[in-house]
Homo-oligomer: A and B are copies of this chain.
Amino acid sequence: MTCQPIITLTTDFGSSSPYVATMKGVILSIIPDVRLVDITHSILPQQVLEGAQVLADVTPLFPTNALHVAVVDPGVGSDREIVYVEFSWGRYLCPDNGLLSRLAEQAEPIMMVTVTAKQFFRERVAPTFHGRDVMAPVAAHLSMGLDPRELGPLHRELKQVNWPGAVKVANRITGEIVAVDSFGNLVTNITREMLADVPTDEKVSIRCDDHETCNIFTTYADQPPMTLVAVIGSNDQLELAIVNDNAKIMLGVGVGTPVEVVW
């Protein structure tokens, strides 16, 4: 099947911002038949960690030739670099500020290039909007088949950011809420892997703030409405949910609240 190249966009511009469309306009002016897919534009402003998590959760599901452009860029206009990075599961173009931290935990990049070749930028580059003036046109040229090595020298090392990790000691795992989804479900940084030898019955207690539930279930529907339940969510992370209701609001907790699993 002949198919159009795909560019995805992940930004902190806000879902109502016309800044996103300016990037699309620049891209389509260079390569009118590219497919554009929005990942999200609701990363909290300049929250690189949140962007890194979304890129890790979502982009590996796309076709491997997709080009993922991410603009969460608190350092725009400073000397932070823009990088092109290729993994086995996809290609990325973004500021080198930690946005690829979560993905880089999973495998070594196949290729990394520091983007410096100004001939692929817009003629005038506004120091406050590299998304429009650098990343959009470079992404368009890459999707037209430009060899990434023409973008600049090989890149040495990706910036890493500190990641709040859960800790397992004896019969206790201590983690925290790292995300709240649109249903109010509380996503923790406690992974399916860490829970592998934890019993899934009444002997395990999951605590969050003053609230406690026992047992780790496989789905929300296993319990009556309004019950607090712990499940391993669709991204293989422990989640707390209120069946048919909003756990964030009902429990009054949020990102950063500690969560403990004891058995």
Q: Which residues of chain A (131-179) have a CB below 8 Å from chain B?
A: 132-133
Contact of A132 among B19, B129, B234, B239 (CB under 8 A): B234
Knowing A28-B6, A126-B234 are in contact, say whether A21-B37 is a contact too (CB < 8 A). yes
Which residues from chain B contact A209 at a C-beta distance below 8 Å? none
Question: How would you classify the secondary structure of chain A's contact residues: helix, strand, loop or mixed?
Answer: loop
Q: Which residues of chain A (213-263) have a CB below 8 Å from chain B?
A: 218-222, 231, 233-234, 239, 244, 246
- State whether A15 touches B15 (Cβ < 8 A): yes
Q: In the docked arrangement, what's the CA distance between A61 and B32, Å?
A: 12
- Chain B residue with Cβ nearest A246: B45
Knowing A32-B1, A46-B244, A219-B78 are in contact, say whether A40-B17 is a contact too (CB < 8 A). yes
Cβ of A199 < 8 Å from any Cβ of B?
no
Q: In the docked arrangement, what's the CA distance between A172 and B184, Å?
A: 42
- State whether B26 touches A61 (Cβ < 8 A): yes
Q: 0/1 per residue, A7-23, Cβ < 8 Å to B?
A: 01000111111110110
- State whether B181 touches A62 (Cβ < 8 A): no
- State whether B57 touches A18 (Cβ < 8 A): yes
- State whether B15 touches A221 (Cβ < 8 A): no
Cβ of A208 < 8 Å from any Cβ of B?
no
Cβ of A25 < 8 Å from any Cβ of B?
yes
Which residues from chain B contact A45 at a C-beta distance below 8 Å? 182-184, 246
- State whether A40 touches B63 (Cβ < 8 A): no
- Starting from the known contacts A1-B33, A32-B35, A46-B183, 12 additional A-B residue pairs (CB-CB under 8 Å) come to A1-B31, A1-B32, A4-B32, A12-B182, A17-B40, A25-B59, A28-B62, A32-B63, A74-B244, A77-B220, A128-B231, A129-B234
